[in-house]
Amino acid sequence: MTSANAAEKRLLKALKRQPVDRVPVWLMRQAGRYLPEYRKVRAEAGGFLDLCYTPDFAEEVTLQPIRRYGFDASILFSDILVVPDALGQPVAFKEGEGPVLEPITHADGIAALKPVAVIREKLQPVYETVRRLRISLPAETTLIGFAGAPWTVATYMVGGRGSPDQAAAKAWAYRAPDEFQKLIDLLVAATIEHLSAQVEAGVEVVQLFDTWAGSLPELSFERFALKPMLEIRVALKARFPDLPVIGFPRGAGPMTAQYFRATKLDALSLDTAMSPGWARDNLQSLGCLQGNLDPLLLVAGGPEMRRQALAILDTLGKGPFIFNLGHGIVPQTPPEHVAELVEIVRGWRV
């Protein structure tokens, strides 16, 4: 991949706020259960983590949506919970339940985790997948790496699974904030190493998913969501000055503006509840925006999907913008609706 090729990539140009011939598009969870070819590979792989940790399988499912739709970006197929798994907190994905971990509920549990230095060794299969993708992806396709933000990963580590209110992690953070901070600090360091290894292997952009950022009140949001993201961004930019970094503080609402200003991220991914007009007026001058069609509109398809997709494009498409969803594709999505959406975005012009 030459630097000249990279300079022409549509998504990279949008992230740098440069003019593009059309709005770039990719979708969160674009590789997944809605695709029959994914389901076939998933059955062959066995467990979900076997899929993530086997480069042959992970490369194939990452490429599948690119072959179908020609998205402007491909996101590495992996999971945010490979980090706690590498740190020695076993992760299991149970059918119908999602991820299950042995909860860490006190300082002794943090102390028992492995040092951050294990990340690069334990997650070598992930980085091998990245190296392969840099060869197998089309020259015009940007490769995105990712990690979970420390707060969101911590909620799974403390709660032992996903929860509607993140009560276990919040209770610890409120009861003993300095103690809980040790877990956040460990995850900041681990995330920096994990993303750095992805960049060294060949990803061109990284996105951090803070799925549960919106569950925190303002002061806790600043400490456990905003500040860790700033630390990660500063560390990554020190190592890789030209690396674009995208943040996704889902559910943060009006706190999103403070987050974007303080972290100085290159781009911000918007959740479904975010008003495109508010985002245009309050966020787009700060950097590139990405989002934010409701994934269930992609399930429904038809005139309403088209109307709302065009409304997002009309509102945000004149500034630095990448079309995406407000969260990931859901399994019941008809693949033909994804193709329809891609055509809508590609056909839109200022």
In eight-state DSSP terms, residue 28 is T
Measured CA to CA, the distance from residue 251 to residue 11 in angstroms comes to: 24
- Which amino acid, one-letter code, is at 266? D
Tokens coding 39: 């389901």
212 touches 151 (CB < 8 A): yes
Closest CA to 311 of 339, 261, 264, 277: 277
* Cβ atoms 218, 255 nearer than 8 A: yes
Q: Choosing from 10, 34, 38, 42, which is the catalytic residue?
A: 42
The b/e string for 264-293 (b: 16+ C-beta within 10 A; e otherwise) is: ebbbbbbbbebebeebbeebbebbbbbbbb
- Is 132 one of the annotated active-site residues of the chain? no
Residues 38, 64: contact at Cβ < 8 Å? yes
Is 42 catalytic? The answer is yes
**Out of 72, 156, 250, 294, which one is annotated catalytic?**
156
Backbone angles phi, psi at 131, to 5 degrees: -60, -40
At position 310, the amino acid (one-letter code) is L
The most distant pair of C-alpha atoms in the chain lies apart, rounded to whole Å, by 56
Which residue out of 17, 22, 33, 120 is catalytically annotated?
A: 33
Catalytic residue among 29, 132, 233, 250: 29
Q: Hey, what amino acid is at 260?
A: F
Exposed / middle / buried, residue 226 (Cβ in 10 Å: 0-12, 13-18, 19+): buried
Scan for tokens 């190592």, then name that residue.
Answer: 239
> Among residues 34, 53, 72, 79, which one is catalytic?
79
Does the annotation mark 21 as catalytic? no
- Please state, in angstroms and rounded to a whole number, the distance separating the CA atoms of residues 196 and 201: 9
C-alpha dist (Å) from residue 333 to 69, 89, 150, 233: 14, 33, 30, 34
Catalytic residue IDs:
29, 33, 42, 79, 156
